[in-house]
Amino acid sequence: MSVEAEYKLEMRADGATLSGVMRLVSPAAYRSALAAVHDQIDAATGPLELDLAGLQFLNSSGITALSRLVMQARERSVTMTVIIDEQVSWQKKTLPSLARLYPKLTLKGR
Amino acid sequence: MDLVGQVGDTLTPQDPAERLSKLRVELLPIDLIVQWRRCSKMADFLAGYFEYHFEDRPVAAQVLSTGLNELIENLAKFSANKQKPVSIEINHYGELLTVTTENEAARPQTTALRARLARMATTDPEELFLEQLEHTASSDRAASGLGLINLKKDYGARLAAEIRAVPDDPERFVVSLQLELNVDAIERG
Ligand SMILES: Nc1ncnc2c1ncn2[C@@H]1O[C@H](COP(=O)(O)OP(=O)(O)OP(=O)(O)O)[C@@H](O)[C@H]1O
Ligand SMILES: [Mg+2]
């Protein structure tokens, strides 16, 4: 399996930024790649911001992985803002549907 | 249940004389498994080849790469024999673009595909999308099961498969999966 990273995950005090191209092989691969974000939601005491604007591509296993983050936030009632770029096709199409999973999730254009 | 036959959306019949472009690629699934990024590279290459038909090339390339990547990942994951060639064929007909993949699959995957396409042909994709996410989350299943639904939901893709028997092997099937996209949906992004 290739280990070259095409994406970048940067953790911030109040959230995380994902950028590049993320097309990992399975939901399990995403689970480990995004472990730090899951931990952050687990430990959150305030709102979090997930910046996806620089994420050019995400495959459907990744959308499932993202929905797991959203559902974890929903379970813990953590307010979440997702920063998006409307010029990026998958973000414009998929993220509004994902937002329907959780009313305390807001999408914000960058 | 007999798996053999046609399933999914009704596709638009095309006249080969109207065809503007065609490209067909054959590859071994094992190559994609060994280097998973080849799925993405192949999708980007094919998208780049076809983007010249579109006014907004960057947007078209994004949409095409997204769709192709899902179908190529499926070839890698669900081909029964990873050393047997599979194919991807793209045809552009002015108003429509079609992608056809062909691979052999085992009975369980073929059954799942058939059931999925049949359901997708009659159910609102947005509803299926949310249902699938809640389902995967609750069952913690390994598979994500969202790829085909998402293509239909986001780009209004029509999807159908022709399933044929493999002579002398009742547990194997030839799956010819066809995706049809309107050119204006590709342009809009
Ligand atoms: N080319 C194929 N050959 C045989 N079966 C297939 C093929 N493509 C899809 N399937 C079957 O249809 C199901 C749905 O495919 P889909 O791409 O929507 O989901 P997935 O690949 O399981 O997950 P995801 O695409 O979200 O990573 C698959 O789980 C598989 O059983
Ligand atoms: Mg898939």
- Residues 21-40 on A with a CB inside 8 Å of B are 21, 23-28
Q: Among positive and negative, which fits the CA dihedral B4, B117, B7, B27?
A: negative
Is B20 among the domain residues? no
Q: Record the tokens describing residue B137, joined without a space.
A: 């989350």
* pLDDT band for position A2 (cuts 50, 70, 90): very low
B176 occurs within a structural domain = yes
Asked if residue B162 is part of any domain, the answer here is yes
Q: Where do runs of H (alpha helix) occur along chain B?
A: 29-34, 37-50, 57-78, 107-120, 125-139, 147-155, 183-188
Q: What pLDDT sits at residue B141?
A: 67
Q: Compute the distance between CA of residue A4 and CA of residue A8 in angstroms, rounded to an integer.
A: 11
Our measurement of the distance from residue B133's CA atom to the centroid of its chain's CA atoms, rounded to an integer in Å, reads: 20
Nearest chain A residue to B156, by CA: A93
Tens of pLDDT along chain B (189 residues)? 589 999 999 999 999 899 999 999 999 999 999 999 999 999 999 999 999 999 999 999 999 999 999 999 999 999 999 999 999 999 999 999 999 999 999 999 999 999 999 999 999 999 999 999 988 877 766 779 999 999 999 999 999 999 999 999 999 999 999 999 999 999 998
Summarize the confidence of residues A79-100 as an average pLDDT.
Answer: 96
Residue B109 lies in a domain: yes
The confidence band for A5, taking pLDDT boundaries of 50, 70 and 90, is: low
Ligand 2 centroid to B70 CA: how many Å? 5
> In this structure, is residue B111 part of a structural domain?
yes
| CB half-sphere exposure, A41, CA atoms < 13 A | 21
Q: Is position B19 within any domain?
A: no
For chain B, list residues whose CB is within 8 angstroms of any CB belonging to chain A.
34-37, 39-40, 59, 62-63, 65-66, 69-70, 73, 126, 129-130, 133-134, 136-137, 142-147, 150, 153-155, 189
Query: For residues A100 and B97, what is the distance between their CA atoms, to the nearest angstrom?
Result: 31
Residue-by-residue DSSP string for chain A: ------EEEEEETTEEEEEEEE--SSHHHHHHHTHHHHHHHHH-SS-EEEE-TTEEEE-HHHHHHHHHHHHHHHHHT--EEEEE-TTSHHHHHHHHHHHTT-TTEEEEE-
All domains in chain A, ordered by first residue: 3-109 (3.30.750.24)
Specify the number of domains making up chain B: 1
Longest alpha-carbon distance in chain A = 38
Assign residue B74 the CATH number of its domain: 3.30.565
Q: Ligand 1 mean position to B89 CA, how many Å?
A: 18
Range of the domain at B90: 5-10+27-188
Q: Quick check: is B66 in a domain?
A: yes
Name the minimum distance, in Å, from the CA of A29 to any CA of chain B: 10
Burial class (CB in 10 A: 0-12, 13-18, 19+), B188: middle
Residue A22 confidence class, pLDDT cut points 50, 70, 90: very high
Residue owning tokens 């914000």: A108
Best B31, B32, B36, B149 member to test A by mutation, with max A CBs in 10 Å, is B36
Q: Which of A42, A93, A45, A102 is nearest to A70 (CA)?
A: A102
CA distance B132 to B153: 13
Task: Kindly state whether residue B49 falls inside one of the protein's structural domains.
Answer: yes
Torsion of CA A43, A5, B134, B182, to 10 degrees: 140
